[in-house]
Amino acid sequence: MLIVVLHGPNLNLLGSRQPDLYGTTTLIGLNTELKHLANELGIQLRTEQHNSEGALIDAVHAAASADAILINPAAYTHTSIALRDALLAIDKPTWSVHLTEPKNREVFRHTDLIEDLCIGRTAGLGVASYTQALRKLVIWLQMRAKKPHL
C-alpha cells in the first residue's frame, strides 16, 4: 500500500513560522515521524512539499499510481479550483489534514474547496493531525479492501 503525503505552501517553514500557532516541529521532523508510523503500519509512504500551486497539482497527478493521498493544501484549501479539479481528475481516496482548525480562524479560511472530495478530514491537533489522519486513512483503505463497495 502506497500513500502519498502532500504538504502545501509554507509548510517548509514549520518549526519557525508562527510556532505559537503551528508548533516547533519542523517539516523534516514531521516527515520522519510519519515514516516511522508508516513502517509500524506496514505501508509505503512518499512525502513531498510544494509552495507553488502548479507543482502541487503536478504532484497530485503523479500520485495517480498511489493507493491514496494525504494532503495539507494549506492556503490552497481556500483558493484553488485547479487543485480541486486535479483531485477530481485522478479520483483517488484523499484525506485532508490541517495543523490548525481553519474553521476556527479568519473567515476567509472557512471555505474548503476540497472537503467534499475527501473521504476524511483531520484538523486542529498540530502534528498529531497528520499521524491521526494517516492511521485513519490506512484503516479506511483496509476496510475498503475487505468491502470493495466503499
Interval 79-121: pLDDT, tens: 899 999 999 999 999 999 999 887 877 786 678 899 999 999 9
Q: Which of 7, 22, 50, 130 is catalytic?
A: 22
Work out how many domains the chain is built from and give that number: 1
**The C-alpha cell that represents 39 in the structure block:** 513502517
Q: Is 22 a catalytic residue?
A: yes
Name the strands in the sheet holding 120-123, side by side, starting at the edge strand that comes first in the sequence. Answer: 44-49, 2-7, 68-72, 94-98, 120-123
7 is catalytic: no
Q: Are strands 2-7 and 68-72 parallel, antiparallel or unpaired?
A: parallel
Residues 55-84: tens digit of each pLDDT: 999 999 999 999 999 999 999 998 899 999
Q: Which residues of 117-131 are buried (b: 16+ CB within 10 A; e: fewer)?
A: bbbbbbbebbbebbb
pTM for this structure?
0.90
Q: What is the CATH number of the domain that holds 41?
A: 3.40.50.9100
Which of 7, 76, 98, 130 does the annotation list as catalytic?
98
Grid cell listed for 89: 481528475
CA–CA gap between residue 48 and residue 3 (Å, rounded)? 11
State the residue range of the domain holding 45.
2-146
pLDDT tens-place string over residues 28-52: 999 999 999 999 999 999 999 999 9
